[in-house]
Structure 1
């Protein structure tokens, strides 16, 4: 009898109410469940790190339900997901198990406006709807709040939130939830003010950072295990060539019935769907598309086709990476390399989810993309994890102050109450918490906050308008554009479309004729003409997408972080910093500070300059050791408006004190760590070596 069996038997005895709900059909536990369940039953806060489809959801839910069901008459587990799609997926999975056990489960998102007649046992939501419930969750009888009986919070796929504005929003909301629980306990709305937090993440390089960010007193539970990645063809060619070489083959069509193709842009999705429908018109595949600018009804139709039909090719942007139940996928195709390793793992992880092997096909348009795909595959196959980049987050301070005011009964807060919340949330970033006073004073001076007759602070009228339509609960800056409205279907097909003059368009692979334009709506109907319509163009997102592909290449080539190889070719020097978009911005800042006008180009992979300036550039980069935080900060302060624009930092940041605006820039470009690295960098000429052969593929 193995030890695992005895452990499972012991845990089964402790899960007297929930074993059959979650594990009855399996009989045995997975590694992550064996490790996590006893800790959760003890009431500990934990971060569970394990691969996709390893049983994390059951590992968290079973012991939490067991523990709370036995202790409290009224109890809630708040389950936070990064996407609406994942909310729906978790809801369907849990509902089918809990429906027979008298456990009330609800979901609350922009798509599902739950009616809270009673306090639910399990409430699944997104950060935005969590924010909305904090403000609008007072019970109609005036006795309590919909979240007053939350005794546990699950943060699912937390690695996708960490470092983003939505992740920062969740951190503030958890602090506000603790304060709400303290009030609820005092008012006798609940029996205990403690909240147990369970965070769940994919396997990460530095999980300690996520732990410190969300649950500093918690502990990490790691579970091993990875699925075999099977490349069905070693040849990495363009998606066009791949379609002709593989997709048109009868053997291929018999072997792979459900295929998921990932692209990096909405335009690429549209173009590829049109191409596939043309090339495979005689096959019996249904060919569908899925991306963020397609209307909800169009996306749901695609999801249903994938689940219900036997032979489907779905082309998607990042929207299919997580959370959407699309059934069993036989083959995942990456039409191009994603910008970061997390996306690579999420995308290939969508394939063969019930098996230990993932069938994958990689595509590349050129040698650069080919090298990147190989590097990312190498990292995935060897379990090598890369750090993720940080985004723009400090505008959340203002958003949360406004939201916190709207949470109060009289829509006002004392200055001390605001200061207390700000200090609690900003101590993670700042030692000097006098910045809390500065923030409040700035918002008063700019007119965002106003003093009421009783001395408390309220908000200006514009914020009331945004609150009434729910706009204040989101920290995401949406692209703006026109909508495509189908007159025959009587519904919107797509949003965020840029206006154009063509008479016909192609959307979801089908030709449509433009019959009218009314305001921001382009009205279309089916086109009777055989000529192809133009592909849509979408409004760009108001954010920077950080490219971490260079880290994968550095790992693949076995280069230490401190090694900056360079190649001399045609009287040009190509110095490979291989440090992502963050290092690109850092180097651009250095160029301005050091007045290095001799540098001709900088991107996420390399720096380019004339051969005659090689010594000057290397010497200047080495001289960075004489720079200090103070000189860099002063330079950033002087150029702050321009730098914020380049980094696409939210305009709300301009309302914050200079100290915070500068700290945002330092954090985004990872300045302090970059300075440490540059002080020990070794520049190596690798011209005429084998390494040159690989690196020159990045020159274009």
Structure 2
């Protein structure tokens, strides 16, 4: 008998131990993607798993992986990495899968940019069996001896929301990190990718495993139903807000309502108008708000409190946000994949139709939305074009590689680079030009015949590496502090702050704030409600 057998007639797991694990978390019956994926994972195949939201992708990856490493765990060795594109998703995944890990007597931790120094030291000194992290933090870990030692017995990497990384430099960065992980790891690392919306799955699979490995594409092609109203409002945003309130009241929605916008500016303006027009609880969630404020809003969603949460893409990905009966989108989502991700946050359980309202005052948006809905019915999703040949990302990794291994043979470094799918076509000339530039900047040093290089021991080489872990553009931001509650609310870009003076009013978190003073030394804006 295989490690996992399926009773296809009744759609149940028949292997007693695995069956009990799924039953204990509420899966009496397997979803379609779980039936297909679990046996492949238990066979230790590299897998790209694509299935609609609410189909149990996280469980079909984590439960078999955790059961595999239970009997192989080694003190102070990380056996599995779980990588997500967002810190918020890191925290959410941790809350969701910690129980699965503890059921197998495995220790699990989070390590990302918000992790405190004390927790970073604790993780470095006492590594967990499973580590949840982001692409940027993984680059950091690959440059530090303690973490490299902890990763020397790594067996599994699970990458969540793969589609979010395909078309960006963050994805190119991650691909190189995956190849670097393999250098000093004793095992062949098995890779699992998870996504709900990928228009080019073959490219996504190669992105996941690189140019020299095989992978299994496990694709649930069944289409989720979308029960969506499209409403055109002949007016301005103020009229749109009125229509949203009327719709929510008419539908008698008692759970939280997600209201997506395409920009932070739209979310701020719309939430401010809604707060003036209704007694409904209106919250806001986007990346410029403080972590505390965002987590307070996420808790409101998990608790199922009624009201409207205006948000951007910050709540688009697989956050476990509890029971949401309705998702509203202001304007066209622009892409099929965005529509599916955002409207798909509603009725997040297998078999239920996603319920949504798309509302706009722009006639062009109305036509575009109808076209998007037609494409969904046809199963047509946009391709996410791979971001090929990012030489700035490569330069950073070449310095990091020298910190990881010491003297680096150039031929070996080129082979490693070409195994990463976004760099498969890089030429020797391009590769050497990058090294020459690094040497010119005194970040690396060649040997005499230029067949090897090493990191310059000077401090500025290390500084360059650690100051450029992120490929996301670094914009100087000012912290906004509510002086009455002494609470960090969020951030403002330096360019915006430069146009502000004392006593001026601006909107943040959907509320108006008056400026007391702007401290240019500490980059802080002190405000009053």
TM-score where L is the length of structure 1: 0.66
Q: How does 1:439-478 map to 2 (within 5 A)?
A: 439-451=434-446, 456-459=453-456, 461-467=459-465, 470-478=466-474
The residue number in structure 2 matching 1:559 is none
Q: How does 1:197-212 map to 2 (within 5 A)?
A: 197-212=191-206
Deviations 1:137-192 (A, max 9, x none): 516xxxx71111211111111111112111111110111011021xxx3xxxxxxx
Q: How does 1:73-222 map to 2 (within 5 A)?
A: 73=74, 76-112=79-115, 113-114=119-120, 115-116=122-123, 117-138=125-146, 145-181=149-185, 185=186, 193-215=187-209, 216-222=213-219
Cα gap change, 1:49 to 1:509, in 2 (>3 Å): closer
Distance apart, 1:424 and its partner CA: 3.9
Distance apart, 1:23 and its partner CA: 3.4
Worse-superposed segment, 71-80 or 352-361: 71-80
The residue number in structure 2 matching 1:521 is 523
Distance apart, 1:295 and its partner CA: 1.8
Cα gap change, 1:441 to 1:164, in 2 (>3 Å): same
The residue number in structure 2 matching 1:501 is 500
The residue number in structure 2 matching 1:245 is 243
SS in 2 for 1:404: helix
SS in 2 for 1:272: helix
Checking the alignment, whether the CA contact within 8 Å between 1:423 and 1:436 is kept in structure 2 is: no
Cα RMSD between the aligned structures?
A: 2.8
Checking the alignment, whether the CA contact within 8 Å between 2:169 and 2:387 is kept in structure 1 is: yes
Query: Are 1:347 and 2:367 an aligned pair?
Result: no
The residue number in structure 1 matching 2:3 is none
Deviations 1:393-415 (A, max 9, x none): 3321012112222334x6x6454
Distance apart, 1:485 and its partner CA: 2.5
Checking the alignment, whether the CA contact within 8 Å between 1:276 and 1:287 is kept in structure 2 is: yes
Cα gap change, 1:390 to 1:339, in 2 (>3 Å): farther
Distance apart, 1:446 and its partner CA: 4.1
Q: How does 1:211-610 map to 2 (within 5 A)?
A: 211-215=205-209, 216-232=213-229, 235=232, 240-248=238-246, 251-252=249-250, 254-280=252-278, 283=279, 285-308=280-303, 310-354=305-349, 356-391=352-387, 393-408=390-405, 413=408, 415=410, 418-425=413-420, 428-430=423-425, 432-451=427-446, 456-459=453-456, 461-467=459-465, 470-497=466-493, 498-499=496-497, 500-502=499-501, 503-519=504-520, 521-527=523-529
Deviations 1:654-700 (A, max 9, x none): xxxxxxxxxxxxxxxxxxxxxxxxxxxxxxxxxxxxxxxxxxxxxxx
Deviations 1:271-321 (A, max 9, x none): 1111001111xx2x2111111111222212222233336222111111110
The residue number in structure 1 matching 2:12 is 8
SS in 2 for 1:513: strand
Distance apart, 1:7 and its partner CA: 6.2
Measure, in 1, the Cα distance between the counterparts of 2:429 and 2:421.
10
Measure, in 2, the Cα distance between the counterparts of 1:271 and 1:443.
45
SS in 1 for 2:360: coil
Distance apart, 1:94 and its partner CA: 0.8
Checking the alignment, whether the CA contact within 8 Å between 1:286 and 1:311 is kept in structure 2 is: yes
SS in 1 for 2:82: strand
Cα gap change, 1:236 to 1:348, in 2 (>3 Å): farther
Query: Are 1:56 and 2:64 an aligned pair?
Result: no
Measure, in 1, the Cα distance between the counterparts of 2:291 and 2:308.
19
Distance apart, 1:36 and its partner CA: 0.9
Distance apart, 1:381 and its partner CA: 3.6
Measure, in 1, the Cα distance between the counterparts of 2:192 and 2:322.
27
Deviations 1:96-153 (A, max 9, x none): 33334311111111123442243422211110111111112516xxxx7111121111
Distance apart, 1:432 and its partner CA: 4.0
* Bigger Rg, structure 1 or 2: 1
Cα gap change, 1:417 to 1:491, in 2 (>3 Å): farther
SS in 2 for 1:337: coil
> Structure 2 stretches of 5 or more lacking a match?
1-5
Deviations 1:620-657 (A, max 9, x none): xxxxxxxxxxxxxxxxxxxxxxxxxxxxxxxxxxxxxx
The residue number in structure 1 matching 2:29 is 28
TM-score where L is the length of structure 2: 0.86
- Number of residue equivalences: 501
Cα gap change, 1:256 to 1:336, in 2 (>3 Å): farther
The residue number in structure 2 matching 1:561 is none
Checking the alignment, whether the CA contact within 8 Å between 2:255 and 2:307 is kept in structure 1 is: yes
Cα gap change, 1:21 to 1:364, in 2 (>3 Å): same
SS in 1 for 2:252: helix
Distance apart, 1:235 and its partner CA: 4.9
SS in 1 for 2:12: helix
Measure, in 1, the Cα distance between the counterparts of 2:304 and 2:204.
40
SS in 2 for 1:174: helix
Cα gap change, 1:341 to 1:478, in 2 (>3 Å): farther
> Structure 1 stretches of 5 or more lacking a match?
186-192, 528-700
Distance apart, 1:456 and its partner CA: 4.3
Cα gap change, 1:496 to 1:163, in 2 (>3 Å): same
Worse-superposed segment, 215-224 or 484-493: 484-493
Q: Which has the higher contact order (CA 8 A, sep 6+)?
A: 2
Checking the alignment, whether the CA contact within 8 Å between 1:335 and 1:363 is kept in structure 2 is: yes
